[in-house]
Amino acid sequence: MTPLLVALLSAHAADAPTFSRHVAPILFKNCVTCHRPGAIGPFPLTTYAEAKKRAELIADVTGDRTMPPWKPVAGHGEFLDSRTLTAAQIATLKAWAAAGAPEGDPKEAPKLPTFKDGWQLGKPDIILKMPKAFTVPAEGRDVYMHFVFPLDIKTEIYVKGVEVRPGNLKVAHHAIGLLDGSGAARKKVDPATGGYVGFGGPGFVPAGFTPGFVPGATPRFFEPGSAITIKKGTDLVLQMHYHPTGKPEDDLTEVGLYLTKEKPTRHMFGVLLGALDIDIKPGDANYVCSDSFELPVPLKVSSVWAHMHLIGKEVRLTAELPNGKDVKLLKIADWDFNWQDTYLYKHPVILPKGTKLKAVWKFDNSAANPRNPNDPPKRVLNGESSTDEMGGLWLGGEVANELDMVALLLANVGHYFEVESKKKAR
Ligand code: HEC
């Protein structure tokens, strides 16, 4: 090698990002909540040796934005706890892998963040426990279980916060919290497992939702004045999604409720949109359905949750304001059933009366879709099992007063009956 080339190469190597100085800060901030011993990520990324082994893979999965898992497309709603890397961070990881994943000076590496054990919101007023540990099998498909937590309360209670504490972060992928006032859920419990299996729905019409669990998301108290009222006779139901690890794993999840004496003064409401008139031909790679709902009163939007099953591909929600302007509320372009968070808007979105909410769901029922549960593809209709489909959207927000609440409730329930009536017969 000529001296010039050596000089050039070493200059280049000196420029390459190192683990200690450039890569560790990115991984520690964005990856280790899940990629640490005992958490849901399939391997830890807490040390140089662990990261070096997978440098190329890290560059690939951050480059195509499959990691960190974060579904909403930028420009369609601005959300709290957003897990996205900047283009510069992605470029750094790529350049580091390309340079052979150098370590640099270990003294330059930041300290690994510490993770607080125990209840993040402090000691709860009520702690609900699963009746017994549930064993997630070593192998096989993901497991979707419902566990029923009877509340055993004498009067209605006002809940200012909910924290779900998974018993085993290696297998607890996420949890959705539901309220059942009908008693239907507890009847479904199988004493052998302490819960019941259910994929796309809980098997009852929820009386409400409570915060669940998503790895890496921060539990929060509700805004002052917006406690959830839970009536006597209500059960809390957790829909748990488990991811087998290769070894049988036990889970004993707890739910903490934080109470307040103050009756809620704010009027929180969830608007439901849906498409149940689903009828997808085998092989159809771009099946589209939609729904729209006009707000009869103003709504201050704070959160959004979308729902499809396995062959869902894209979901979009737009608010068409009375002045003709569009507000983009959500877009997920690569739907993954396994990452259905409730997304909290960074700033509330004010929608005036007369706003038209427009939702679009797209499905890919082709053989080329690796997530298609039918091989070969089959005709798909609406339903709750993993081989059926659903298009749903739930928009959480607040209305100004009791009258507006009633008006919105009537309109939205009426709307949903219409959606239900269009279900395709089997
Ligand atoms: C919210 C939890 C979470 C965060 C944050 C997260 N991961 Fe992951 N990661 C997972 C899970 C779970 C899997 C297993 C596959 C799956 O379920 O999608 C995974 C898989 C991977 C894989 C293996 C992919 C493959 O195809 O085998 C790599 C590499 C990876 N993550 C890197 C990262 C990096 C780098 C970051 C940060 C920039 C990150 N992850 C952030 C949860 C997470």
Answer yes or no: is 4 within a domain.
no
- Centre of ligand 1 from the C-alpha of residue 315, in Å: 23
Q: From CA 353, how far away is CA 375, in angstroms rounded?
A: 46
Q: Do 296 and 391 sit in the same domain of this protein?
A: yes
Q: From CA 306, how far away is CA 76, in angstroms rounded?
A: 14
Residue closest by Cα to atom 42 of ligand 1? 41
- Average model confidence (pLDDT) across the chain: 92
Q: Do 100 and 159 sit in the same domain of this protein?
A: no
Q: Give the count of domains, the chain.
A: 3
Q: From CA 35, how far away is CA 91, in angstroms rounded?
A: 21
Q: Classify 239 as helix, strand or coil.
A: strand
Q: From CA 322, how far away is CA 328, in angstroms rounded?
A: 14
Answer yes or no: is 1 within a domain.
no
- Centre of ligand 1 from the C-alpha of residue 231, in Å: 40
The per-residue pLDDT for 198 is 84
Answer yes or no: is 115 within a domain.
no
Token digits for 306? 């979308």
Among 34, 66, 214, which residue has the most ligand 1 atoms within 8 Å of its CB, making it the best to mutate? 34
Among 19, 23, 28, 31, which residue has the most ligand 1 atoms within 8 Å of its CB, making it the best to mutate? 31
> Residue 169 belongs to a domain with what CATH number?
2.60.120.310
Q: Do 273 and 364 sit in the same domain of this protein?
A: yes
Token digits for 75? 């420009």
The per-residue pLDDT for 27 is 97
In order along the chain (426 residues), what is the average pLDDT of each group of 10 residues?
52 78 97 90 96 98 95 95 94 97 96 89 95 92 91 94 94 91 94 87 83 85 92 94 92 97 92 94 97 98 94 98 97 90 93 98 97 94 85 94 95 91 80
The per-residue pLDDT for 384 is 76
The per-residue pLDDT for 61 is 97
Buried-state track 244-263, b at ≥16 Cβ within 10 A, e below 16: bbeeebebebbbbbbbbeee
Token digits for 47? 């040390």
Domain boundary among 199, 231, 260: 260
- Centre of ligand 1 from the C-alpha of residue 164, in Å: 22
Question: How do residues 266-294 score in pLDDT, each as one tens digit?
Answer: 998 889 999 989 999 999 999 999 999 99
Q: Do 86 and 221 sit in the same domain of this protein?
A: no
Q: Classify 254 as helix, strand or coil.
A: strand
The per-residue pLDDT for 71 is 94
Residue 221 domain boundaries = 126-260
- Centre of ligand 1 from the C-alpha of residue 256, in Å: 28
| 220 neighbors 258 (Cβ within 8 angstroms) | no
DSSP letter string, 345-408: EEEEEEE-TTPEEEEEEEE--STT-TT-SSSS---EEB-SSTTSB-EEEEEEEEESSHHHHHHH
Query: How many CA atoms within 13 Å lie on the side-chain side of 159?
Result: 25
Q: Do 251 and 132 sit in the same domain of this protein?
A: yes
The per-residue pLDDT for 337 is 85
DSSP letter string, 287-304: EEEEEEEE-SS-EEEEEE
- Centre of ligand 1 from the C-alpha of residue 42, in Å: 7
Q: From CA 391, how far away is CA 420, in angstroms rounded?
A: 12
Answer yes or no: is 6 within a domain.
no
Domain boundary among 108, 136, 155: 108
Q: From CA 398, how far away is CA 289, in angstroms rounded?
A: 27
Q: Do 291 and 376 sit in the same domain of this protein?
A: yes
Q: Do 300 and 416 sit in the same domain of this protein?
A: yes
- Centre of ligand 1 from the C-alpha of residue 388, in Å: 28
Q: Do 89 and 152 sit in the same domain of this protein?
A: no
Which atom of ligand 1 sits closest to the CA of residue 216? 1
Question: How do residues 384-425 score in pLDDT, each as one tens digit?
Answer: 777 889 999 999 999 999 999 999 999 999 998 999 888 877
Beta bridge partners of 129: 254
- Centre of ligand 1 from the C-alpha of residue 303, in Å: 25
The Cβ of residue 424 has, within 10 Å, a number of other Cβ atoms equal to 13
Among 57, 61, 142, which residue has the most ligand 1 atoms within 8 Å of its CB, making it the best to mutate? 61
Q: From CA 63, how far away is CA 86, in angstroms rounded?
A: 10
The per-residue pLDDT for 11 is 46
| C-alpha closest to that of 96 among 54, 43, 44, 67 | 54
Q: Do 92 and 131 sit in the same domain of this protein?
A: no
The Cβ of residue 281 has, within 10 Å, a number of other Cβ atoms equal to 11
Answer yes or no: is 5 within a domain.
no
Look at the block and give the residue holding tokens 């000529």: 2
Q: Do 58 and 103 sit in the same domain of this protein?
A: yes
Residue closest by Cα to atom 35 of ligand 1? 58
- Centre of ligand 1 from the C-alpha of residue 212, in Å: 20
Look up the pTM and report it.
0.85
Which atom of ligand 1 sits closest to the CA of residue 243? 17
Q: Do 286 and 403 sit in the same domain of this protein?
A: yes
Residues with CB under 6 A from ligand 1: 30-31, 33-35, 40-42, 54, 57-58, 61-62, 67-69, 83, 85, 215-216, 338
Answer yes or no: is 73 within a domain.
yes
Domain boundary among 48, 74, 108: 108
Q: Do 377 and 295 sit in the same domain of this protein?
A: yes
Answer yes or no: is 2 within a domain.
no
Single-letter amino acid code for the residue at 385: S
The per-residue pLDDT for 290 is 97
Q: From CA 411, how far away is CA 400, in angstroms rounded?
A: 16
> Residue 286 belongs to a domain with what CATH number?
2.60.120.230
Answer yes or no: is 116 within a domain.
no
